[in-house]
Amino acid sequence: MVVSTNHQVNLRAVARALGALLLIGAATSAAYADIQVGQTLPPPPSVLYKDLFVAVQTGQIYPDQKTFVDATPNAEPAAILQLYEQQKNNPGFSLKNFVARWFTPPVDQVITPPPNQSLREHIDWLWPKLTRMSMSVPPNSSLIPMPKPYVVPGGRFREGYYWDTYFTMLGLQEAGREDLVDNMLDNFAYLIDTIGHIPNGNRTYYVSRSQPPFFSYMVELAAQKEGGRVYQKYLPQMRREHAYWMQGAGTLKPGDAVRNSVMLPDRTVLNRYWDASDTPRDESYLEDVNTAKLVPNRAPNEVYRDLRAAAESGWDFSSRWFGDNQTLASIRTTSIIPVDLNSLLFHLETTIARGCGEARDFGCVAEYIGRAAKRAYGINKYLWNKNGYYGDYDWQLGKPRDNVSAAALYPLFANAAWPERAHRTARTIEAQLLKPGGLATTTFNTTQQWDAPNGWAPLHWIAVEGLKRYGRAELAQPIGTRFLADVKNVYAKQQKLVEKYIVEGTGTGGGGGGEYPLQDGFGWTNGVTLKFLDLYGGGE
């Protein structure tokens, strides 16, 4: 392993990530292609129902803002809207009764497990309960059809989610359900081909953004079981996804940003989270409106964009995105270049190169090796904090963000870290984030769900795999075993797996904070728990 200094690119790390591929020359230059959206979808509910939508959400007809946008209309939206306009000013008009007549709300599935299941038995029993099929959907539903079965997280999350799915796939593969792994890969390939990208989730109100790009990791996961042909099979979709994230990057000048891309002063291009819309989120309309009211010195649409961009990150919400590290009103997501996103795109670029190698397209191999090398340079120049960890960078302020988080381990997970920096990061994480119940998400307790004292299954998997990759299995093990013990304890008391866990203090409970109550089910916790049971569970 070459230990790079003075911002040299660690090309051997790139090569290792590609497995058997050879490094071939320098990258060829190519403009980033614009995406052409191919599938016609109904507009999101905020557009379909206009003033009625605003009235329902601000009037809190349902306790959860997501309920109305997941409801099915009982007539054509235009007819419902016309009736609303005719009746809303009538004496005695009841908005609640009107909505009850013209919309069918979603019905949450009640999952009652058999008694005395072991943790592993319970997870295996849950897979079919969380599996959905939506080849066709009711007219004007916000649900986007997909051709094959898929697994949902559970609770209020009635649709498939992009980055959740990778961690769910880990468990499905561990449980011998390679059929579902392949089905969900095919669904995401379908979404890329028809919509132009993988949305946050398969709902129309999620189409304006994506989520952390784990598609290449899903391809890699399937290839571990099915061979290198999988890389070639999904190569067109991986290239389209890369083009989606890089839209407009070829037109940038130093110090500028467009969509998800930012060009820094030395012409390094890195990526940020972003959303094509700058309105309140459909599924959290009232929360977003209220947040914008707390920021009188900013235009509301700027605040909405940053809230939506944080939703694209999956970390909605976290001190990572707050200017003051404490309050949601200080959110500045689009000003921040995130370490996790760029590590994932590094992996996407190396995986595309692997797919091009399988296809014997060596010009393509050279191009994407070059792209990955440039990104590794950018990660190690801009996303390294001199205090000893990988972290985020505020490109508008021109300085790193001093905010240790579990995202620091993404460069290790993606093989983009320099070895000495990987070890320094490991020491920082052990000192600041390792708690009795696992890995705390950040060092700040803000009442937001992606902050202390909460720990999340996907971040524990990222940590364990990343640390093992750099020879730090002795730290990976307590991270994995402590979190597994937390999951076991909650299951023993409540017979369920939940979305997030408290890892500080005694580390013995479900997590809290954020915009909605703690959800159980739960897709990615199930997947990571199965992996940890096989790694650390002693045969349970």
Distance CA 438, CA 506 (A): 10
Distance CA 446, CA 356 (A): 45
> Does the pLDDT of residue 6 top 90, yes or no?
no
Pairing of strands 454-455, 103-104: unpaired
Name residue 221's amino acid: L
Distance CA 510, CA 132 (A): 26
- Comparing CA positions, the residue from 258, 259, 217 lying closest to residue 238 is 217
Query: Is residue 125 a known part of a binding site?
Result: no
User: Under a CB-based contact definition with an 8 Å cutoff, are residues 347 and 480 in contact?
Assistant: no
Q: What is the pLDDT of residue 125?
A: 96
Distance of CA 98 to the CA centre of its chain: 36
- Residue 491 burial (CB count, 10 A): 19
Lowest mean pLDDT among 5-19, 287-301, 308-322, 368-382: 5-19
Query: Is residue 200 a known part of a binding site?
Result: yes
User: Under a CB-based contact definition with an 8 Å cutoff, are residues 213 and 166 in contact?
Assistant: no
Cβ-in-10-Å burial (0-12, 13-18, 19+) of 399 comes to exposed
Q: What is the DSSP string of 511-539?
A: ---SSSPPPBS-HHHHHHHHHHHHHHSTT
- Comparing CA positions, the residue from 389, 392, 385, 472 lying closest to residue 432 is 389
Q: Positive or negative CA dihedral for 150, 154, 158, 159?
A: negative
- Strand partners of residue 454: 502
User: Under a CB-based contact definition with an 8 Å cutoff, are residues 502 and 435 in contact?
Assistant: no
- Comparing CA positions, the residue from 292, 357, 311, 126 lying closest to residue 205 is 311
Lowest mean pLDDT among 5-14, 33-42, 161-170: 5-14
The H or E element that residue 491 is part of is helix 473-494
Tell me the C-alpha to C-alpha distance, in Å, between residue 120 and each of 127, 284, 539. Answer: 11, 35, 10
Task: Say which of 70, 159, 316, 392 is annotated catalytic.
Answer: 316
Distance CA 122, CA 144 (A): 29
Joined tokens for residue 479: 């991270």
Query: Is residue 314 a known part of a binding site?
Result: yes
> Does the pLDDT of residue 23 top 60, yes or no?
no
Mean pLDDT in residue range 468-480: 98
Task: Say which of 159, 220, 367, 499 is annotated catalytic.
Answer: 499
Q: What is the pLDDT of residues 130-188, one digit of tens each?
A: 999 999 999 999 999 999 999 999 999 999 999 999 999 999 999 999 999 999 999 99
Query: Is residue 211 a known part of a binding site?
Result: yes
Name residue 62's amino acid: Y
Annotated active-site residue 499? The verdict is yes
Q: What is the pLDDT of residue 540?
A: 64
Q: What is the pLDDT of residues 371-425, one digit of tens each?
A: 999 999 999 999 999 999 999 999 999 999 999 999 999 999 999 999 999 999 9
Q: What is the pLDDT of residue 40?
A: 80
- Strand partners of residue 157: 154
Query: Is residue 164 a known part of a binding site?
Result: yes
Q: What is the pLDDT of residue 509?
A: 86
Joined tokens for residue 353: 């190169």
Average pLDDT score, the chain: 92
> Does the pLDDT of residue 428 top 60, yes or no?
yes
Query: Is residue 387 a known part of a binding site?
Result: no
> Does the pLDDT of residue 24 top 70, yes or no?
no
Query: Is residue 495 a known part of a binding site?
Result: no
- Cα Rg for the chain, rounded, in angstroms? 23
Joined tokens for residue 230: 């999988």
Query: Is residue 156 a known part of a binding site?
Result: yes
Q: What is the pLDDT of residue 505?
A: 86
Query: Is residue 321 a known part of a binding site?
Result: no
Annotated active-site residue 316? The verdict is yes
Mean pLDDT in residue range 254-262: 98
Q: What is the DSSP string of 242-303?
A: HHHHTTTGGG--TT-EETTEEE-TTS-EEE----S--S--GGGHHHHHHHHHT-TTS-HHHH
> Does the pLDDT of residue 26 top 50, yes or no?
no
Q: What is the pLDDT of residue 539?
A: 55
User: Under a CB-based contact definition with an 8 Å cutoff, are residues 170 and 523 in contact?
Assistant: no
Q: What is the pLDDT of residues 322-373, one digit of tens each?
A: 999 999 999 999 999 999 999 999 999 999 999 999 999 999 999 999 999 9
At CA 156, angle to CA 71 and CA 177, rounded to 5? 110
Q: DSSP assignment, residue 507?
A: -
Distance CA 424, CA 526 (A): 31
Backbone φ and ψ for 322, nearest 5 degrees, come out as -100, 130
Give percent of the chain above pLDDT 90. 89
> Does the pLDDT of residue 22 top 60, yes or no?
no
Q: Which residue, chain included where needed, has tokens 């008694």?
A: 115
Q: What is the DSSP string of 11-51?
A: HHHHHHHTTTPPP-SSPPP-PPPPP------PPPHHHHHHH
Give percent of the chain above pLDDT 70. 92
Q: What is the pLDDT of residues 182-235, one digit of tens each?
A: 999 999 999 999 999 999 999 999 999 999 999 999 999 999 999 999 999 999
Joined tokens for residue 133: 């099929």
Name residue 536's amino acid: Y
> 39: pLDDT confidence band, cut at 50, 70 and 90?
low
SS3 204: helix
SS3 99: helix
